[in-house]
Amino acid sequence: MSKFRKSFHIKARDFIRAGEASINVQNLLKSMNFDSRLIRRIAICGYESEMNVVMHGGDGSLSIEVDTGKLVLEVADDGPGIADIELAMQAGYSTANDDHREMGFGAGMGLPNMKKNADQIYIESVKDQGTHVRMFFFLPDGAKTD
Ligand SMILES: Nc1ncnc2c1ncn2[C@@H]1O[C@H](COP(=O)(O)OP(=O)(O)OP(=O)(O)O)[C@@H](O)[C@H]1O
Ligand SMILES: [Mg+2]
Residue 3: the pLDDT is 87
Range of the domain at 54: 4-138
84 occurs within a structural domain: yes
22 occurs within a structural domain: yes
39's CB contacts (< 8 A; 6+ apart) are 26, 29, 30
Of the listed ligands, the closest to the CA of 90 is 1
pLDDT digit string, tens, across residues 90-146: 999 999 999 999 999 999 999 999 999 999 999 999 999 999 999 999 998 767 665
80 occurs within a structural domain: yes
4's CB contacts (< 8 A; 6+ apart) are 65, 66
145 occurs within a structural domain: no
* CATH code for position 110: 3.30.565.10
**Ligand 1 pocket: which of 78, 87, 94, 102 to mutate (most atoms <8 Å of CB)?**
94
3-state secondary structure of 134: strand
Domain count, the chain: 1
**Which phi-psi region, left, alpha or beta, contains residue 88 (left: φ > 0; alpha: ψ -120 to 50)?**
alpha
55 occurs within a structural domain: yes
144 occurs within a structural domain: no
Whole-prediction pTM? 0.96
143 occurs within a structural domain: no
Measure 96 CA to ligand 1 centroid, in angstroms.
7
16 occurs within a structural domain: yes
pLDDT digit string, tens, across residues 100-112: 999 999 999 999 9
